[in-house]
Amino acid sequence: MHFKTLTELKLALQKKEISSHELVSHYLKRIERFNPQLNTFITVTGESALQEAQKADALRASTSENLPPLLGLPIAHKDLFCTDGVKTSCGSKMLDNFIAPYDATVVRKCRDAGLISLGKTNMDEFAMGSSNENSFYGPVANPWNTAYVPGGSSGGSAAAVAAGLVPVSTGTDTGGSIRQPAALCGITGLKPTYGRVSRYGMTAFASSLDQGGPFAKSAEDVALLLNAMAGFDEHDSTSLNVPVEDYTQPLNRSIEGLKIGLPKEYFSHLNAPMQKTLDEALKVLEKLGATLVEISLPHAELSIPTYYVLAPAECSSNLSRYDGVRFGYRCENPQDLNDLYLRSRGEGFGTEVKRRILIGTYVLSAGYYEAYYLQAQKTRQLIKQDFDEAFKKVDAIAAPTTPTPAFKIGEKVSDPVTMYQCDIYTLALNLAGLPGLSMPAGFIDGLPVGLQLMGHYMQESKLLNIAHQYQCHSDWHLQHPTARE
Amino acid sequence: MTLSIKKVQETAYLARIAMSEEELNRCHHEIEQIFTLIDQLQAVDTQGIPPLAHPQASQQRTVPDEVTESDQHEKFQALAPAKQLDYYLVPQVIE
């Protein structure tokens, strides 16, 4: 049951083959059994989940009309979405004692759609990382091989779905934090267009780049969850006031005649096994009638330096709110106000977060602003213009999600530059604000490989259509780690 | 670019982050490496390219200047590390 898709579970609930209470109990037992090895959850809200499941069952028993679309189905939220009355730690010592006083819009919308939260998932501290090794609560293990990382920063959310501890989850993607862990864990994850999903109550890292999105086993499930998550929110000033389409509707359209661009810059440095795996996946798309066209994104190589100026700059500003005064960690016996600030932040933040705050503070400081911050905003424009040009020629772009499958825990943690290079294929999309998806496309030495699909603004349904058609003609997304039976 | 350890120390103070000497040394080394990566940007000709601050080029919407939030200070202040009455407590600032 635990490796069934959300779509299958939804049908089983509708047919009353299973109750929501049975479903939630089953997943909670799996969390209890596997979480000690995988460390995917920071907080499990078992009691409230079972109560909500009982209510869902009672509602379904009382009527069959106008039921919430995902009534009684389980979900888990990345631990940076605020959940009223439930710890929201952001994977940080700074917020280890923080009980959120309100719900994020995403959390509220998921609840309104009938979903039941099983808890909050582990993540890199304040979403800064590509391996989930930067969490105050320890690293998450990849369910396919526990010696390997699950990717980051939404590593707990991705690993929990891959291990069958929950059918779907939420994540956030600032530079690849949904797509990269989806690829490394062998599941499907979507980063929507910037502004499609509300950021209200989603703890800020880099506000012009952050975007929430769904993780699931299949594109069809991602579409179901995106239906629940997307939409205008007056509480988020950057929320797009554009009606939400039903993302499940276009899934079955033929992709015959679609032009899919392959950026030569994204394929030129791949190793042979990655190239071979992705070539096989692209052949399936070609067989389905899509035309593959070589394109160029000439400024692609600038995405890493551009991102690592802009994201730290925004983070240094956003994280100035953690001051040890109003909420969060406060140091012991501060001598004066300055000492309170210095030590609360010095003791409350982890290494990677401090490093990024320092870089951000530096590039925004007098004398360096123009050389770094302003220059990076200009190269961001060049990166965006590349995509504008590309989408005049093609309907979507296909590319690797990551340069390699998952790497070993501890392998890159002491070398930030090497770690940053893991994001080489995902960063540009955030800089441009475009939607992107990663879907399972094969395995190398028992570890999953992801194929990334990128679309023009608000073209999520096109990406989901391509991914669903691919998944109707492949079975990589149906594989699951046998050790988690 | 060469970044002195003194500059990193000054930046840490500007960001109000206390760091031990060992932490500062490690951070200095890593930040220098990261700036080797970032410095690639300096070679790019961006003359005439308008900066892009945000993926949405459109103007942000405005809202009427009205109070819409209810008073929830008790709920929010319940999270404070130290408080007295309706105030946040910090070490004494003015003698």
Tell me the CATH number at B18.
1.10.20
8 A C-beta contact, residue A130 and residue A308: no
Assigned domain for B81 exists: no
Domain encompassing residue A110? 6-260+393-484
Note which residues in 425-464 of chain A have CB less than 8 A from chain B.
Answer: 431-434
Cβ-count burial of A257 within 10 angstroms (0-12 exposed, 13-18 middle, 19+ buried)?
exposed
pLDDT, position A55: 98
**Percent of chain A clearing pLDDT 90 (strictly above):** 97
What would the pLDDT profile of A159-186 be if each residue is shown by its tens digit?
999 999 999 999 999 999 999 999 999 9
Classified as helix, coil or strand, A275 is helix
pLDDT, position B57: 67
- Residue B63 pLDDT more than 90? no
Any CB–CB contact under 8 A between A375 and chain B?
A: yes
Mean pLDDT of B26-50: 95
Mean pLDDT of A225-236: 96
User: Which two three-digit tokens encode residue A85?
Assistant: 């009355």
Please give the Cα distance from A315 to A92 (Å, whole number).
Answer: 14
Give chain A's domain count.
1
Mean pLDDT of A140-163: 98
Mean pLDDT of B66-83: 93
- Note whether A365 contacts B11, CB cutoff 8 Å: yes
Report ipTM for this prediction. Answer: 0.95
What would the pLDDT profile of A4-18 be if each residue is shown by its tens digit?
999 999 999 999 999
Q: What angle do CA B56, B60, B66 make, to 5 degrees?
A: 155
Assigned domain for B67 exists: no
Mean pLDDT of A401-413: 96
- Note whether A340 contacts B53, CB cutoff 8 Å: no
Mean pLDDT of B44-49: 97
Q: How many CB pairs under 8 A join A and B?
A: 168
Q: Helix, strand, coil proportions of chain B in percent (round to 5)?
A: 40, 5, 55
Assigned domain for B72 exists: no
Nearest alpha-carbon partner for A72 in A122, A15, A155: A15
Assigned domain for A51 exists: yes
pLDDT, position A423: 93
8 A C-beta contact, residue A75 and residue A157: no
Any CB–CB contact under 8 A between A138 and chain B?
A: no
Assigned domain for B16 exists: yes
Tell me the CATH number at A398.
3.90.1300.10
Cβ-count burial of B37 within 10 angstroms (0-12 exposed, 13-18 middle, 19+ buried)?
middle
Assigned domain for B52 exists: no
Please give the Cα distance from A123 to A172 (Å, whole number).
Answer: 10
Domain encompassing residue B35? 5-43
Assigned domain for B90 exists: no
- Residue A484 pLDDT more than 70? no
Mean pLDDT of A103-122: 98
Assigned domain for A28 exists: yes
What would the pLDDT profile of A322-380 be if each residue is shown by its tens digit?
999 999 999 999 999 999 999 999 999 999 999 999 999 999 998 899 999 999 999 99
- Residue A52 pLDDT more than 80? yes
- Residue B1 pLDDT more than 70? no
Note which residues in 96-115 of chain A have CB less than 8 A from chain B.
Answer: 98-99, 101
What is the overall mean pLDDT for chain A?
A: 97
Assigned domain for A235 exists: yes
Assigned domain for B87 exists: no
Give chain B's domain count.
1
